[in-house]
Structure 1
Amino acid sequence: MQAPIIVREYARLTTSEVPHPTLDEAQVSETAFDWLCELAGRFRASGASLLQVDGRRWLKLDNFVGVLESPCGQVIEVLPKHRNEGDCVLEARRLMQKLISSALQMSARQTEVASLELYDAPLAEWVMQQFLSELDYLFKRGLRFDYLRIEEEQRYLRGQLDVVKQMRQPPGRAHFFQIRHDVFLPDRPENRLLKSALALVARTAQQAENWRLAHELMGLLHDLPASRDVEQDFRLWRNDRLMAHYQGIKPWCELILHQQMPLAVAGEYRGISMLFPMEKLFESYVEQQLRMALPKGASLRSQVQSEYLCNHGSERIFQLKPDLLLNHAGQTIVLDTKWKLLDAADRSNKYGLSQADFYQLYAYGHKYLGGSGELVLIYPAWAKFDASQPIADFKFDAKMNLRVLPFDLDDAEAAKKLIAQLMKPSNATIAEAA
């Protein structure tokens, strides 16, 4: 088995020898290189960018993180670029696990079980460990059984006699009974999906504890058939009160069986492959943390889609969708998250800010705030951009103000600190009051 390759966002991959592999440069096999190029083509066809071709022998990854396994068995783990230099693999893995847990909306009990600070395995093994832990817990709570209607021919009478079919029996088979009866079995869509996911985990798990637990649980599901139509069984997954104890395992099952869209991108081969856009993970985490830190009377709405950029005849076109809208004490603030490392000291290069993002926020301000109020861009905090190195506000005009604020992913109090900053009167509000 080939050794796994560990890189991070925007890393460069090549088939040539790399004397000193780092998180930013690594060598892959020619078959894995060709497969990545083919996979990137499928991404482009669906409107996403997985990588860019950098010359004839280099590929440059985009801002997806996760794990990929090529048909030749080459495993590539892509970690978040949380720091510009000196990134620690274990620290990056823990960050990715925390963000994925947030995106899957894990409960407090699940987060405790996940042991995010202690479990330092590659992403695929971590996902399998979460699934197996939830499945083990589910067995202790008890699998849900259901009545399955059986229609068959027997020499004895059991359940109900199917009179119509019995009357159509030829004289030579009159001693057989056409019957139908119900059998209380675990053969239901949810359990079939669990069996399919468990079978995949049992085949691909590399860590001894995951392998042991997977095969132990396989013995308990030995008589249960696997899903024959994964997509249809997920549609039939029930979410009623009697199935409440199944909700914890569903997102992990979706990840393993490649049904969690659009966050996870399905692999097609024997391994567990999944990719996550860091923009979405960061946005989801910031939203969840802000919701938990909201003061009384405040509200937070995500992905609002009520405004359009312009009208064309009788039709409105170019829908505007800010990430978050915060309402408090009669004031509305537009929040937009961006996954990019800024440099608060690099004013000559505009700190790394994008002009297109400013155009976007300007449109949000006019359509959602009526041209007067507070706009906020939220970026991840790091060594060159944190609370101790603020970036001065940007003024579109006397009434509309844009702030660029850091969000520390390693600080449990980051959301409360950000809320405290947002609750302060903005320069635009002060100017309007004056």
Structure 2
Amino acid sequence: MKPVITVREYARLTTDKITEPTLDLAQVSVSAFDWLCKLNATFSNAGAALVQLENRCLLKLDNYVGVLETPCGTRLEILPKHFEREDCIKQSRVLLRRMIQVSLDLPTREVGAADLQNFDAPLSEWVMGRFLLALDHLIKRGLRFDYQRVEEEQRFLRGQLDGVKQMRQPPGRQHHFQIRHDIYLPDRPENRLLKFALDEVCKATKDAGNWRLAHELRRVLLEVPRSRNVQQDFNQWSSERLMAHYVPVKPWCELIIKQKIPLAVAGEWHGMSLLFPMEKLFERYVAASLDKDLLQDARLKTQAHTEYLCQHKGKNFFQLRPDLMVLHQNKSWVLDTKWKRLNSSGEDKSYGLKQSDFYQLFAYGHKYLAGEGELVLVYPRRSAFDAPLQVFEFAPELKLWVLPFDMERGVLLGAPEGFPLHSQQLQSSEQSA
């Protein structure tokens, strides 16, 4: 059985022997350690960092979460560093799955709340299991077939005779017929991609239930060829009405083939590895949660990019891209998400806030709100930060709110008055009552 090591963000990995491993310190094999160092070099060249090498036998993970599988078979599960207890593996897995589901808009028909709490397995097995259930449901409803034109030589007539080729037959072969006909086959872009993803699952899964279901489905798809050009087949995925029953399986298929992952491992080794930058995942989780909670006439914009910090020689310089903008009637709010732990207990006078973030929000306020309005910094809620901080004033007309976001419920807490949330109206009515 290949080892599974569970840690969380910023954990340290070492090759030295550890008597009591924790979520913040674990032992890995020398081969896994060396592979992580080589992988980090490719990440660093792309402008990111997967790990920080502290010495020859100790490295520190960065803020990526998900699952990594090394060529030697070690599976490294990295969970969000959100809960403060050491025995929070199950809760962290549930939180991570919920964030991925909401952020990537994955179907939740097969996954209820009870299923999320009871399904206690590494992330990659969970992803593969969801894909297999969706594919099983699709096959029971029926695969979509298409007519394929076939041109061949036979000793019998079938379909249409190709007169030109037939007249060119050499002497002694007049009894062979050059024919054209259509065959009803499951060879479609969608089915080829499903076969490709299914083959990947068959090779990667270690769960007995997933392995059994994957091989059962593989026998059903024996006639379907594997996709040879993944990107082209995705571009040709049909969205017509007769393909509606293919919609639920497509996101899982993309997830397995790594077409929709914010960051995935690529190279010579193609293990089942899924990595998510936690800051980006938190941003998308907040955006998707807010979008569902907004009033009907409110609108959410992500990654607005219409304003620039300054102009030089008639050209715009330094584009400003706030994470989120909420528009309601004639008012706008600019929001920025930060995956960081704040402490409002008073031990730190700055609460753990960064001055550079305030400079950034100040620029957003002047360029997107014309110097008048409300800005919001969103941080994950925790026991030391469970209520909004007192408002910060850049000017009497420009204010900044620092608000906690409830990760378990997906709700923004303490939004300013007038912010167009259903939950905000509910809280106001409860307080007035």
Same fold (TM over 0.5): yes
1:378-415: CA deviations, max 9, x gaps? 0100111112xx32222112221111100011125x24
**How much does 1:416 deviate?**
7.6
CA spacing shift, 1:351–1:331, aligned 2, 3 Å: same
Q: Indicate the residue corresponding to 1:210 in structure 2.
A: 210
Closer/same/farther in 2, CA of residues 137 and 90 from structure 1, 3 Å limit: same
Q: Is the 8 A contact 2:23 2:86 kept in 1?
A: no
Encode CA deviations 1:15-50: one digit per residue, 9 max, x unaligned: 112232110111111111111111111112222221
Paired amino acid for 1:391: L
CA distance in 2, matches of 1:51, 1:118: 32
User: In the alignment, residue 17 of structure 1 is paired with which amino acid?
Assistant: K
Q: Give the partner amino acid of 2:221.
A: L
Tell me the alpha carbon deviations over residues 54-96 of structure 1, each in whole angstroms, 9 at most, x when there is no partner: 1222111111100011111111000001123435100000000
How many Å separate the matches in 2 of 1:101 and 1:421? 29
Q: Give deviations 1:196-240, integer Å, cap 9, x for gaps.
A: 211221222222211121111112112222122222222222222
Partners in 1 of 2:392 and 2:326 — Cα distance? Answer: 19
- Distance in 2 of aligned mates of 1:208 and 1:201: 12
* Structure 1 residues 114 and 314: CA distance shift in structure 2, 3 A: farther
Q: Residues of 1 paired with 2:201 and 2:147: CA distance? A: 28
Alpha carbons of 1:266 and 1:244: their partners in 2 closer, same or farther (altered >3 Å)? farther
Query: Is 2:419 the counterpart of 1:422?
Result: yes
**d(CA) in 1 for partners of 2:195, 2:43:** 30
1:127 Cα deviation after fit: 0.4
1:143 aligns with 2:140: no
Unaligned runs of 5+ in 2: 425-433
Q: Is 2:261–2:274's contact at 8 Å kept on the other side of the alignment?
A: no
Q: Which amino acid aligns with 2:272?
A: I
Shift of 1:113: 8.8
Percent of aligned pairs sharing the same letter: 56
1:247 correspondence with 2:244: no
- SS of structure 1 residue aligned to 2:269: coil
Q: Which residue of structure 2 aligns with residue 134 of structure 1? A: 134
Q: For the Cα contact (< 8 Å) 1:259–1:266, is it kept in 2?
A: no
Alpha-carbon separation, structure 2, partners of 1:340 and 1:220: 47
CA contact (8 A) 2:261 2:276 kept: no
**Alignment RMSD, CA only?**
2.2
Q: Give the number of aligned pairs.
A: 422
- The equivalent of 2:176 in structure 1 is 176
Q: Please state whether the residue corresponding to 2:286 is helix, strand or coil.
A: helix
1:395 is matched with 393
Q: Which residue of 2 aligns with 1:334?
A: 334
Match of 1:431 in 2: none
SS of equivalent to 1:99: helix
Structure 2 CA distance for partners of 1:13 and 1:401, relative to 1, 3 Å: same
Deviations 1:106-152 (A, max 9, x none): 24524439922221111011001100110111012211111111111
Greater CA deviation, 206-215 or 231-240? 231-240
- The residue number in structure 2 matching 1:432 is none
Higher deviation after alignment, 57-66 or 348-357: 348-357
SS of 1:171's equivalent? Answer: coil
Q: Which residue of 1 aligns with 2:79?
A: 79
Give 1:266 deviation, angstroms.
Answer: 4.3
Corresponding residue for residue 191 of structure 1: 191
C-alpha distance in 2, partners of 1:30/1:190? Answer: 41
Partner of 1:359: 359
Partner residue in 2 for 1:430: none
The one-letter amino acid of 2:305's match is Q
Gaps of 5+ in 1: 426-434
Q: 1:98: how far off? A: 0.3
Match of 1:429 in 2: none
Q: Distance in 1 between matches of 2:373 and 2:347?
A: 25
Name the stretch that deviates more: 249-258 or 94-103.
249-258
Distance, in Å, in 2 between the alignment partners of 1:265 and 1:242 is: 35
Where 1:109 maps in the other structure, the secondary structure is coil
Give every structure 1 segment of 4 or more consecutive aligned residues whose post-TM-superposition deviation is greater than 6 Å. none
Deviation at 1:270, TM superposition (A): 5.2
Counterpart Cα distance in 2 of 1:204 and 1:420: 50
